[in-house]
Amino acid sequence: MNVPLADPRLLGRQVKRIAISEEEIQERVRELGQAITDSYPDGELLVLGLLKGSFIFVSDLVRSVMRPLQVDFLVVSSYGSDVVSSGLVRLVYDPETTLEGKHILLVEDIVDSGRTLSRVIDVLQERQPKSIEVCALLDKHVSTFLPHPPKFVGFNAPNEFLVGYGLDHAENFRHLPYVASLQ
């Protein structure tokens, strides 16, 4: 599929192709919302978005979940790719909402190595939630072993550099309503 050349959001920057269209994303988000609604018949549900990448996905997703819920966000510090210990993750922004006894749905834009998720889940588990599950828009299926594989996945991600719908390259492209791959 060709990127519409008239898209002023690109401002002349080159993208290779639209990997997932706006329509495909919106339809899948509605399906995910239904699956999440069905999975939580009772209890308190707290949707936790991992910033920055999940900001658009969270805002669309929660509007498709037809049950009471709360929304909060997490910001995680990055210590670089050489740091693998889950004990070293630091929450730069800590959710104000209490986690104890609640169903936590952690929302990611993309799971690549899975390290970010693993570390964050380890930290959140200490706060004694009732359950923790992950909803990822995209899963690259790079990791052969994930301690907490996402229960809800929007799309299998192609092995390309993806931008849009929250994903960035040097902080650009996050506002595209579709997912595109860079040249």
d(CA 116, CA 50): 10
Spatial distance between the Cα atoms of 88 and 79, rounded to a whole number of angstroms: 8
- For residue 2, give the DSSP letter: P
Q: Does 139 contact ligand PRP by CB under 6 A?
A: no
Pick the piece of the chain touching ligand PRP (CB under 6 A) from 11-19, 21-29, 33-41, 113-121: 113-121
Q: How far is CA 134 from CA 22, 36, 150, in A?
A: 22, 11, 5
Q: Catalytic site residue 112?
A: yes
Strands 103-111 and 162-163: unpaired
Applying CB under 6 A, does 113 fall inside the site for ligand PRP?
yes
Handedness of CA 41, 145, 125, 121 (dihedral sign): negative
- The stretch among 41-49, 91-99, 103-111, 148-156 that binds ligand PRP (CB under 6 A) is 103-111
Total residues in contact with ligand PRP, by rule CB under 6 A:
15
Binding positions for ligand PRP, 143-172, rule CB under 6 A: 168
The answer for residues whose C-beta is within 8 angstroms of residue 104's C-beta and 6 or more apart is 46, 48, 124, 129, 131, 132, 133
- 116 forms part of the interface with ligand PRP (CB under 6 A): yes
Instruction: Output the smallest distance, CB 109 to ligand PRP, in A.
Output: 5
Q: Which of 112, 122, 139, 168 does the annotation list as catalytic?
A: 112
| Contacts (CB under 6 A) with ligand PRP, residues 58-97 | 78
Shortest spacing between CB 119 and ligand PRP, in angstroms: 8
As annotated, the active-site residues are 112
